[in-house]
Amino acid sequence: MAKKEERDIVILNVRIALGESKRLDFSIAKLYTTTKVEIPIIIERSKIPGPTVLITAAIHGDEINGVEIVRQLIARKLNKPKRGTIICIPILNVFGFLNGDRSFPDGRDLNRVFPGTKSGSLASRVAYNFTKKILPNADYCLDFHTGGASRFNAPQIRIRQGDERLLELAKAFNAPFTVYSNTIEKSYRNTCRKMGIPALLFEGGKSRESNKSVVKEGVDGVLRFLDYLDMLGKRIPVPLAENDTIIIEKSRWVRAQRSGLLHIKIKCNKHVEKGEFLATITDPYGTMRFKVTSPNEGYIINVNQSPIVNQGDAIFHISTANTADVEDEEMED
């Protein structure tokens, strides 16, 4: 029987009927003091059967924009579906969130240990229990991220190239950009793929920052996605996007040719021409000024906002139609 036809669902051994609302605590570990560490899971079910959408954020604990997106969905009661079920997990990596850190206390990246193991590291055990006890209930997944460190991502959905169903869903979400990105081995997104669950990964803004415009893009995209699945509440208006999502098939990194102080001259999201002035790199002593220009025409979808860079650091991520220009390296999820 398909998940969307099931009358009751069972999460963490709790049976939840149609029309019920539940808050469950996913107990994942204990602190040194024996205090339990629990992940709140907010579940809203319509009386009408339908698909189940799982919405997660803060797999990396320092990525705050996603937390705010999911929080707004809950606080504004946008997570109450017309049909089907919405499961919200605003903070999946509680340890990282408390510490303002990307990783778990064991130093591992939760998004690099899926589907996890029962007796492995702390991060691996959390991934394992999430994959076994929560993820199988989902028909669709929305996972929210930001750029790492000081790298600011334009709001974008990342999907695998060649998956027409994911492209259809990405167009429904309609973020400013849809970026083709290979799934990373042992990532949450790759585990969803192997389980046959369509998953959209949203990137927007940078870590340790809450950006209102990025959050709005995320919330609006979720509402359009729910409307596409005929799950959006009748009294909730569907946000209209100014333009259709721009498909980015190929991209490349522009790297610093000098070490020094970085002065950005253009905004993220901007379309630039080949040779356009992007930034300058200077030394602290006023003797060097290096001009950074665009290597090709394209959209700037990531900007390094660090005031200081080393030679070789990625400072811009730009779309390109020329496959010969693409570096053979994965984008971070």
How many residues are listed for the chain in this entry? 333
Q: Determine, yes or no, domain membership for 77.
A: yes
> 254 and 202, same structural domain?
no
Q: For 34-62, write each residue's pLDDT tens digit.
A: 889 999 999 999 999 999 999 999 999 99
**What is the rounded distance in angstroms from the CA atom of residue 6 to the CA atom of residue 138?**
12
3-class SS of residue 327: coil
For residue 186, is it left (φ>0), alpha (ψ between -120 and 50) or beta? left
The overall average pLDDT reported for the chain is 94
Domain boundary among 198, 228, 258: 228
Selected residue with higher pLDDT from 96 and 326: 96
Q: Determine, yes or no, domain membership for 239.
A: no
In eight-state DSSP terms, residue 35 is -
pLDDT-derived band at 6 (thresholds 50, 70, 90) equals low
Q: What is the pLDDT of residue 332?
A: 74
**What is the rounded distance in angstroms from the CA atom of residue 281 to the CA atom of residue 263?**
6
Q: What is the CATH number of the domain that holds 61?
A: 3.40.630.10
> 255 and 124, same structural domain?
no
> 171 and 313, same structural domain?
no
Domain count, the chain: 2
Q: Determine, yes or no, domain membership for 333.
A: no
The predicted model scores a pTM of 0.95
> 134 and 11, same structural domain?
yes
**What is the rounded distance in angstroms from the CA atom of residue 216 to the CA atom of residue 211?**
9
Q: Determine, yes or no, domain membership for 80.
A: yes
Angle at 87 between CA 78 and CA 4, to 5 degrees: 105
Domain that holds residue 38: 3-228
For residue 205, is it left (φ>0), alpha (ψ between -120 and 50) or beta? left
**What is the rounded distance in angstroms from the CA atom of residue 333 to the CA atom of residue 323?**
22
Angle at 169 between CA 239 and CA 201, to 5 degrees: 90
